Structure 1
Amino acid sequence: MTKLLLLLVLMPALAYGEAKRIISLAPHITEILFAIGAGEQVVGVDEASDYPEAATALPDIANYRSINLEQVLALEPDLIIAWQSAQSLQVAPLVQLGIPVAYSEPKQLDDLSDELLRFGRLTGHEQQAQQVAEHYRHRLAALRQRYQEAAPVRLFYQLNEVPLMSASQHTWMGQAVSLCGGDSITADSPTPYPQIDAEFVLAQNPDVILARNLSALQRWKDWPELAAVQQNQLFTMDVDTLHRFTPRTPGGIAGLCQQLDLVRQHRQKAN
């Protein structure tokens, strides 16, 4: 390890801009890089980066717990892009050793277009990044216009099963729910990803419960008094597009909005 650290110290720190050998440490970062045409410059990814398919052929050099320093050195990156809130501590040794590190931390739905443009400058793909950003903004604006007066639907957005977690309005998932006219039972939580218990959901009695798959929804059938269970409104969601903030996210939002439209249609028929 001593030799490794010495070699890392001697590696020249390259300035940001038109990086040729990039390591991506999060799935949304990998997807953005490929979307703007910089996929061929990506030489290593984290193990969760599985889109697009070409990314799965790249070396896995990290997971959510750690980074393999030996593999980082072997790949000779001139830029590493990390998820700031989740990985800043992991990459701190790399920063100290002079390897250029950029951070990605989009928090609002509108932030992604700026993120695309920034990635374009870092990789030398500004024109394609501009096109992708404009397309993203257009799709987001169209969804906002379509659902700006949609009737509210009370819902629980189940982000995780154990522990039971949701998303507040401070997250892009929560913002997606609001855009669609969803009234999330955890929207006003002071923390982005609140941990709650089943009793809280029962007390709030949402009309819809959303989760990643059918098995994650199964537990709620133990409480037939829930409105969402009575009305058979236990819906799955596309986590790849809603939980990864990328140019595909508007498609995930559109799918979420369509599910809430089904609830509104059911109400109209009942009335």
Structure 2
Amino acid sequence: MLTSLSSACTQTGNVVEAAPPDAAVTASPSAAVVTDAAGEPVTIEDTSRLVTLGGPVTEIVFALGAGNKVVGVDSSSIYPEEATQLPQVGYQRQLAAEGVLALNPTLILATTEAGPPEAVAQLKDSGVTVLILPAAESVEGAKAKIRGLAQALSLEAKGEVLIQKLEIDLAEAEQLQAQVSSKPKVMFIYARGPGAVNVAGLETAADAMIRLAGGVNVAQDYEGYKPLTAEAAVAAAPEVLLLLSRGLESVGGKEELLKQPGLAQTPAGQSGRVIAMDDLYLLGFGPRLGQAVLELTRELHPEVGSKE
């Protein structure tokens, strides 16, 4: 999932082992009651046909071993591979209720990123059970998503196994960070083509990941994203450029990236220190969060060495 363009990095061990499908999962023996993002209780009685909206939601459901019950996903559900073979209902932020309901789901699972509000309201009014969980991009938010979905599917024990693995990886990342005193300056670049290059500020998933991996986000004076400018890039002087894999591809690779305004004049540009990671792996805050933090920690702090 992680590709470093400045050094080789193993890609083994990057997959959360999904729990094996459980025959007992196909029907809930009793109703589950889960508190949604609005603080309201949602009673779940039938989990036989699931539509999962949002890459992290889909990934968690599959990791819990309930992927055999998923009948439809949104377009951001790119992992695991099996999910990409299922019928799609469009992008989670631009849903059409009719397309979702056409799959005859008994339960729709989503986060607060699902929209537009009118479509979500239609889904709720249809009579199909809809569970919307917080989309918080934090360690605790990831745990809450796992626990909420595990509870909804009556798979609490399997959920705790995923959380334990996440915590083990995070603890290892913290141990590695404790061995170094440096906090490399990182610029996260969100690119969707040469003419659409933005830099992540505070209150973003990228900012959270940089901090979790022991780095410092160079964009500290704004929230969200702003377009890249030569002046800002040179002034920020990042030591590492971090991108999504598809974003790096969209600008034509590393050489073309460094032709963007000001980047060649930065320490990162001069050393060629560019890291690209899979979109959902880096920013999904799902069951592989701990693995992603650990991988990024090793890349930002090469002095601690790569995993053998």
Q: TM-score, normalised by structure 2?
A: 0.72
Contact 2:213 2:297 in 1 (8 A): yes
For 1:52, the aligned partner's letter is P
The alignment-based identity, stated in percent, is 26
2:144 and 2:104 map into 1 onto residues whose CA distance is: 28
1:97 counterpart = 2:129: no
Q: Which has the higher helix share?
A: 1
2:196 and 2:89 map into 1 onto residues whose CA distance is: 28
Counterpart residue number, 1:181: 214
Alignment of structure 1 residues 194-233 onto 2, 5 Å: 194-198=225-229, 199-212=231-244, 213=248, 215=252, 217=254, 218-221=256-259, 223=262, 224-233=264-273
1:27 counterpart = 2:55: yes
1:147 counterpart = 2:177: yes
Question: Cα 1:17–1:242, aligned 2, differ >3 Å: closer, same or farther?
Answer: farther
For 2:120, the aligned partner's letter is V
For 1:208, the aligned partner's letter is V
Contact 2:53 2:73 in 1 (8 A): yes
- What do the CA deviations read for 1:183-230 (whole angstroms, capped 9, x no partner)? 1112453x2x22133231222121111122263642324643221111
- What do the CA deviations read for 1:101-159 (whole angstroms, capped 9, x no partner)? 21231321222122211111101211111111111122112212321454111121112
Contact 1:19 1:78 in 2 (8 A): yes
For 1:97, the aligned partner's letter is S
1:92 and 1:150 map into 2 onto residues whose CA distance is: 50
SS where residue 106 of structure 1 aligns?
A: coil
SS where residue 103 of structure 1 aligns?
A: strand
For 2:277, the aligned partner's letter is M
For 1:115, the aligned partner's letter is K
Listed as ranges, the gaps of 5+ residues in structure 1 are: 1-13, 266-271
CA RMSD of aligned residues (A): 2.4
Once the 2 structures are TM-superposed, how far is the Cα of residue 88 of structure 1 from its aligned partner?
5.3
Once the 2 structures are TM-superposed, how far is the Cα of residue 68 of structure 1 from its aligned partner?
4.2
Instruction: Determine which structure has greater relative contact order: mean sequence separation of CA pairs < 8 Å that are 6+ residues apart, divided by chain length.
Output: 2
SS where residue 67 of structure 1 aligns?
A: coil
Alignment of structure 1 residues 111-190 onto 2, 5 Å: 111-148=141-178, 150-161=181-192, 162-189=195-222
Q: Which has the higher strand share?
A: 2
Equivalent residues, number: 249
- What do the CA deviations read for 1:226-258 (whole angstroms, capped 9, x no partner)? 211112212222323102221112222222212
Question: Cα 1:246–1:55, aligned 2, differ >3 Å: closer, same or farther?
Answer: same
1:246 and 1:33 map into 2 onto residues whose CA distance is: 10
- Select which of 263, 270, 282 maps to 1:242: 282
- What do the CA deviations read for 1:27-50 (whole angstroms, capped 9, x no partner)? 111101000111112111112322
